[in-house]
A = this chain, B = another copy of it.
Amino acid sequence: MRTRWLDDAELDAWVRFIAVVELLPGVLDTQLRRDSDLTHFEYYVLAMLSEAPDRTLRMTHLAARTNATLARLSHVVSRLEARGLVRRTPCPEDGRATNASLTEDGWAAVVAAAPGHVETVRSHVFDALRPEQVDQLREIATALLTKLDPEGRMTTPYRRPRAGAAR
């Protein structure tokens, strides 16, 4: 089957988009590490827990919400647990499952980290976009996720939290 190469418009979009994908994580990690001693992924894990009922989620669900593999999450939760930010407890309903919960220190860490993180997101992302571009970005991301995440693991309808992701 012949390759369907990219045309000029697609290629131009792709080169820039890839650059964004390469650069954005570094920007987020650098700020969070400097100000809060957290990686962006660690922050995101804490933030997702902070929004969950009882600040608790099963590892599988937490992995889905953070777009991570279980293996990656397990390692990260181990580290966060060692730092006292998260606690693991066996799930009563299912003997195979583990619940991860935010500790008080963990809660304090997200609350402390959130403003600086949100400011970074705003200044590096949303300040550059017009309101209609925010909508376009949402639609484009939604479209891409149907291909990148066909099972729609993380496509849980969004509920507004009291703190977290970028509240």
Q: List B contacts of A79 (CB < 8 A).
A: none
In the complex, A77→B108 CA distance in Å? 43
Q: Which residues of A contact B (CB under 8 A)?
A: 3-6, 8-25, 27, 44, 66-68, 114-115, 118-119, 121-129, 131, 133-149, 154, 158, 160, 165-167
B134 close to A19 (CB less than 8 A): no
Q: Within the assembled complex, what's the spacing in Å between the Cα atoms of A27 and B144?
A: 12
Q: Which residue of B lies closest to A6 (CB)?
A: B166
Pick the contact of A138 from B4, B12, B149, B165 — CB < 8 Å? Answer: B12
Q: Are B23 and A21 in contact (CB under 8 A)?
A: no
Evaluate contact between B135 and A133: CB separation under 8 angstroms. no
Is A21 touching B25 in the complex (CB atoms < 8 A)? yes
With A119-B4, A141-B16, A167-B5 known as contacts, the answer to whether A136 contacts B134 (CB < 8 A) is: no
